Amino acid sequence: MKRKQLLVFAIIAFALALTFGVGGSLIYAQGQFSGYKSTIQTYNMSDTTANVILAFYRQDGSLEKTLTDIIERDRSKIYFTLPVAEGFTGSVVISSNQPVAALSSMMNSGLTAGGTYLGRSQGSTTVFLPLLMANQDGGFNSWFTLQNASASSTNVTVNYSDGITTTITLEAHASHNFYQNQEPHTSKVFAAEITSDEPVVAVVFQEDAGSLAAYSGFASGATNPVMPVINANNNGFNTDIQIQNTGDTDTSVTVSYMPSAAGTACTETQTIAANQTVEFTGGAFADGSNSTCTGGERFIGSAHVSANSASQPLAAVVNQHVGSNPLTHFAAYSSFNPDDATKTVRLPAIMDRNSGFFTTVNVMNVGSAETTVECSFTDTTYTISATLQANETLTDLQASKIQDGYVGSASCTASADDAKIIAVVNQLKSDATDDQFLVYEGINQ
């Protein structure tokens, strides 16, 4: 039987289902924290029981262990304790006879900071990383893990936008960590383009002394990327969008902001040089820089690239944060290509008062016409719905709405025949004084 594969990559001893407890193995990385823990959540998106195999690989590409399991239809399994040795650092390949998706959440060993990212269904010979940092103001640094997604060894080149280049060879299924504060960078904030003979996947971790965020690398850019969740001056929550021009020509980019719960529609325009990255949103809503936005105004909504003068491919990372130096809460997600959107999006992890954790669902209409969107939640009669105009977002906070201790999943569907929707889910622990904030992208199906 042919198996459908989903690659979950990272520096994993596998991170935390932070709402469900602590498990996994401890790894000793060279990031800013002394160690890390991870969990994996695997979600069966079919209406049939899935047989899954998790194959854990050490960083040299050798097999550490395999785990075989069964996941019921439209259900998830979260793996807290993994069949790997203490101190394991590596990656995992998940195979299934049904369509599955996977999330990995990684936290520091003290469980005071964490980030979540999606596994990829396939690798790419080119990967873009829009936001990397080395000794950035406030003590921020980044590091990323690159995994060889093929069964053959591959030569890899990393070209940073500040002119630094490095090359390595990765064995089949092997992974490697790149630490930006150990590299001779001339800029504090920059991007990267990775090229490889064989398909690879990458995940980036951003850290300061007390917070952690993660995002997956991009296989390609989009002419008009979209971002479903934007906050500014919202009870301490703010957003920065880092947009990378992955093309070979400078381009003038306009980002349009559309409110869903607060604020006024406005635009921001900046020029992004070829192979470079530029920050949007932060200045626009702080003092009106490069925009028609009102500085200091509270904004809750979405964003999309509405103009791209040279039609260059763009990739963007959205950072959401509270506080400064260090941040109190910090999470990141990757922008979407509207061409990849579908009528249905699946959300594997939804919570209401689960040991203090709750989620917020943000569903964006990225089609060209109005559509009604309805979301249903497993094991409950709770539903949400709204009629959305093009580029409009439905935002719903699950706290105290479903049931105390609720843990489940959700499925959102648009009614129009040619509708396209995407989604992002925020996870936050109420009254947390450390970084108990994570975000993940919905899975289009």
Q: What is the pLDDT of residue 109?
A: 78
Same domain, 255 and 213: no
Same domain, 233 and 275: yes
Q: What is the pLDDT of residue 25?
A: 31
Written as six digits, the tokens of 192 are 């990267």
Instruction: Give 56-111 pLDDT, tens digit per residue.
Output: 999 999 999 999 999 999 888 989 878 888 888 888 888 899 989 898 988 887 78
Q: What is the pTM of this model?
A: 0.91
- 10: number of Cβ within 10 Å: 31
Give 308 or 4, the one with higher predicted confidence. 308
Q: What is the pLDDT of residue 353?
A: 95
Last residue of a domain, one of 268, 302, 330: 330
The arithmetic mean of pLDDT across residues 426-439, rounded, is: 89
Q: Quick one: CA torsion of 291, 297, 302, 303, rounded to 10 degrees?
A: 10
Same domain, 243 and 167: no
Domain membership of residue 80 (yes or no) is yes
Same domain, 313 and 401: no
Share of the chain above pLDDT 70, in %: 92
CB-count burial class (<10 Å; 0-12, 13-18, 19+) for 158: buried
Q: What is the pLDDT of residue 4?
A: 37
Residue with tokens 């093309």: 247
Domain membership of residue 154 (yes or no) is no
> Does the pLDDT at position 117 exceed 80?
yes
Asked if residues 348 and 103 have their Cβ atoms less than 8 Å apart, the reply is: yes
Same domain, 241 and 215: no
Sheet order of strands, 314-323 included: 277-280, 237-245, 314-323, 327-334
Q: Quick one: CA torsion of 122, 120, 219, 347, rounded to 10 degrees?
A: 140
Same domain, 356 and 372: yes
> Does the pLDDT at position 28 exceed 60?
no
Instruction: Give 323-344 pLDDT, tens digit per residue.
Output: 876 788 899 999 999 999 999 9
Same domain, 45 and 1: yes
Q: What is the pLDDT of residue 2?
A: 34
Domain membership of residue 129 (yes or no) is no
Same domain, 200 and 253: no
Same domain, 352 and 245: no
Q: Quick one: CA torsion of 378, 382, 387, 390, rounded to 10 degrees?
A: -40
Domain membership of residue 153 (yes or no) is no
> Does the pLDDT at position 13 exceed 70?
no
What CATH code is carried by the domain that includes residue 411?
2.60.290.11
Distances (CA, A) of 59 to 67, 117, 145: 18, 19, 10
Residue with tokens 């990272």: 10
Q: Taking Cα atoms as reference points, which of 407, 439, 319 lies closest to residue 43? A: 407
Instruction: Give 243-282 pLDDT, tens digit per residue.
Output: 999 999 999 999 999 999 899 999 999 999 999 999 999 9
Last residue of a domain, one of 200, 219, 238: 219
Instruction: Give 170-201 pLDDT, tens digit per residue.
Output: 999 999 999 999 999 999 999 999 999 999 99
Q: What is the pLDDT of residue 32?
A: 64
Instruction: Give 394-427 pLDDT, tens digit per residue.
Output: 999 999 999 999 999 999 999 999 999 999 999 9
Domain membership of residue 404 (yes or no) is yes
Same domain, 214 and 255: no
Say how many domains are in the chain.
3
What CATH code is carried by the domain that includes residue 231?
2.60.290
Q: Taking Cα atoms as reference points, which of 350, 341, 351 lies closest to residue 388? A: 341
Q: What is the pLDDT of residue 334?
A: 96
Domain membership of residue 209 (yes or no) is yes
Asked if residues 110 and 198 have their Cβ atoms less than 8 Å apart, the reply is: no
Same domain, 16 and 92: yes
Domain membership of residue 134 (yes or no) is no
Q: Taking Cα atoms as reference points, which of 242, 240, 259, 255 lies closest to residue 298? A: 259
Same domain, 52 and 112: yes
* Residue 114 pLDDT grade (very low, low, confident, very high; cuts 50, 70, 90): confident
The arithmetic mean of pLDDT across residues 345-352, rounded, is: 95
Last residue of a domain, one of 299, 330, 361: 330
What domain range is 385 assigned to? 344-444
Written as six digits, the tokens of 222 are 């989009």
Domain membership of residue 282 (yes or no) is yes
Mean pLDDT of the chain: 89
**Stretch among 33-42, 135-144, 151-160 having the lowest mean pLDDT:** 33-42
